[in-house]
Amino acid sequence: MKIVGIEHVGVAVNSINEKAAFWEYILKINRTATETVADQGVSTAIFDTGKGKIELLEAIDPNSPIAKYISKRGPGIHHICLEVEDITSAIKELKENDISLINETPTRGVEGYLIAFIHPRSTGGVLVELAQKQKPQ
Amino acid sequence: MKIVGIEHVGVAVNSINEKAAFWEYILKINRTATETVADQGVSTAIFDTGKGKIELLEAIDPNSPIAKYISKRGPGIHHICLEVEDITSAIKELKENDISLINETPTRGVEGYLIAFIHPRSTGGVLVELAQKQKPQ
């Protein structure tokens, strides 16, 4: 597979309203998007450094993965997302190498990306998301 | 301050030898450096996506921050490093904003960068490293 770069780092927060200020006003990183992904039970705020984004993740559903993560480990870095050229061929390669996937087919993430998560048991404890940017229609 | 981009994501591992294969041979990210930082008690392996690096961190000293982190939380994502244009002015700005710093003056990190860590209590639980690239002599 061809990894293009670090697309973003996902950070689990209790409150985007309370935690956005550090990234936006102290570090002065441009806030470029705010989006709710209902089927993952999260609200997101995205800060773009120009070379990789910071994605704050707040649970909007007590059963969402982010709510469960925070109740177990507290707020903090949740995952790293790597951009790939072709998510379908990436998933195929990972399966051929017996890598455990959370999504065995691409699903829709923030900003319209096609995404799949790799299970931390195959990566050394790191939740890795792969994402393919969609071409504008 | 001016953030230039995500320089790297630091990942705490029990063994670089065991965990490098996922990043190098499964994800096929170019391994560009291997370095020991004696005063931080770590050995590192660096994988460069071309747009942000993955830095594996293995403790070489049982009292190092990485050894303590793993014994408390297990292996996984340890910190995010943002590249800044000027680390000295960044530290000055952070102090003026009452942000807690682990390093109040720049120290030497891997690849010759001048670095400073921001304490997670000021960031929402995220260990943030700032790094300024040194110009070649």
Splitting chain A (137 residues) into consecutive groups of 10 residues, what average pLDDT does each group show? 97 97 97 91 96 97 95 96 97 97 93 94 96 81
Specify if B137 maps to a domain.
Answer: no
Specify if B102 maps to a domain.
Answer: yes
**In CATH, what number is assigned to the domain containing residue B57?**
3.10.180.10
Specify if A137 maps to a domain.
Answer: no
Is B137's pLDDT higher than 80?
Answer: no
Confidence of residue B121 (pLDDT cuts 50, 70, 90): very high
Specify if A13 maps to a domain.
Answer: yes
Specify if B75 maps to a domain.
Answer: yes
Domain count along chain A: 1
Closest CA to B67 of B79, B54, B57: B57
Specify if A89 maps to a domain.
Answer: yes
Q: Which two tokens stand for residue A42?
A: 């999260």
Specify if B117 maps to a domain.
Answer: yes
Closest CA to B7 of B135, B126, B109: B109
Q: Which two tokens stand for residue A28?
A: 């002065």
Listed by number, the residues of chain B in 12-71 with a beta carbon closer than 8 Å to a beta carbon of chain A are: 13, 18-19, 22, 26-29, 49-52, 54
Compute the distance between CA of residue A45 and CA of residue A60 in angstroms, rounded to an integer: 13
In chain A, which residue ranges form alpha helices assigned H by DSSP?
16-21, 65-73, 87-96
Compute the distance between CA of residue B78 and CA of residue B112 in angstroms, rounded to an integer: 20
Count how many Cα atoms sit within 13 Å of the Cα of residue A30 in the half-sphere of its side chain. 9
Q: State the pLDDT at residue B134.
A: 87
Is residue B124 helix, strand or coil?
Answer: coil
Least confident segment among A16-20, B38-42, B91-95: B38-42
Q: State the pLDDT at residue A137.
A: 57
Determine, for residues A123 and B22 on separate chains, whether the beta-carbon distance falls below 8 Å: yes
Whether the Cβ atoms of residue A19 and residue A100 lie closer than 8 Å to each other: no
Compute the distance between CA of residue A16 and CA of residue A20 in angstroms, rounded to an integer: 5
Specify if B83 maps to a domain.
Answer: yes
Determine, for residues B76 and A9 on separate chains, whether the beta-carbon distance falls below 8 Å: no
Closest CA to B81 of A27, A71, A101: A27
- B5 in contact with A, Cβ within 8 Å: yes
Q: State the pLDDT at residue A109.
A: 87
Using only C-alpha atoms, chain B has a radius of gyration, in whole angstroms, of: 15
Whether the Cβ atoms of residue B123 and residue B101 lie closer than 8 Å to each other: no
CB-CB neighbors (< 8 A) of A125 in chain B? 74-76
Q: Look up the domain containing A7 and give its range.
A: 3-132
Is B22's pLDDT higher than 80?
Answer: yes
Evaluate whether ipTM surpasses 0.85.
yes
CB-CB neighbors (< 8 A) of B121 in chain A? none
Is B136's pLDDT higher than 70?
Answer: no
The pTM is what? Answer: 0.95
Determine, for residues B50 and A5 on separate chains, whether the beta-carbon distance falls below 8 Å: yes
Determine, for residues A51 and B94 on separate chains, whether the beta-carbon distance falls below 8 Å: no
